[in-house]
Amino acid sequence: MTEVESSPNATSSPGEVRYRVTVWQRITPVAPMIVLSVALIITSMTRRPPPDAVTAWLTIWFGMLVLGALLPSFFGVTLTPSAAVVRNIRRRSIPWADIQAIRIESILGTKSIVLHEANGRSTRLRAPTTAFLAWDRRFEEKFHVIGTWWLTHRGPDWTPAPPPPAWWIAPPTQERNPFAPPK
């Protein structure tokens, strides 16, 4: 359920595609806090609470709700002709030529897209993702769009990084490119 911004009113230019975390994916993790906040307000209206307890708890809960719902709205990825711009806590631009592979990886039931770089670094994208309560019916399509952008924009001088050396008891590595799409 990530949203694609490619309209003229969006913040990205026409030659870019941006995937962000949607409202549903932002609200789902903080839904229990919303329920507890409503319960705390109802409880404070029906009984006489200590003078400053309700104010303190409501301030803490409201702050956590704002951070939990608004902060992830900045997370995502923007595909430009020169690089994939990843927006997590900080903004990072990864040139297409430096990316060696793009894979779907699953951790605790949440599937996300991981960019593997030539220097060995792996960057997990916060959007698009799909999970049990935050599913995305178009996740595979978005994965293929990101992969197509990589294949199209990585440049003719792109060369795959050599695979890591195998142990002496392991079978020999294959001669083909391990990062090439299947034939």
Residue 44 has pLDDT above 60, yes or no: yes
Residues 81-109 have a mean pLDDT of 89
DSSP 74: G
Q: Out of 54-58, 72-76, 86-90, 146-150, pick the least confident.
A: 54-58
Domain spans of the chain?
3-21+75-153, 24-71
Q: What percent of the chain has pLDDT over 70?
A: 74
Residue 56 has pLDDT above 50, yes or no: yes
Residues 176-180 have a mean pLDDT of 65
Q: What is the pLDDT of residue 8?
A: 36
Preceding amide of 81 cis, omega within 30:
no
DSSP 183: -
Residues 12-31 have a mean pLDDT of 75
Q: What is the pLDDT of residue 178?
A: 63
Q: Cβ distance 124 to 103 under 8 Å? A: no
Class of domain 3-21+75-153: mainly beta
Residue 88 has pLDDT above 70, yes or no: yes
R_g (Cα) of the chain, nearest Å:
22
More confident residue, 109 or 164: 109
Q: What is the pLDDT of residue 145?
A: 92
Longest dimension (CA), the chain: 75
In angstroms, the CA 10 to CA 19 distance is 12
More confident residue, 88 or 172: 88
Question: Would you call 66 exposed, middle or buried from its count of C-beta atoms within 10 A (0-12, 13-18, 19+)?
Answer: exposed
pLDDT classification of 58: cutoffs 50, 70, 90: confident
Q: What is the pLDDT of residue 174?
A: 61
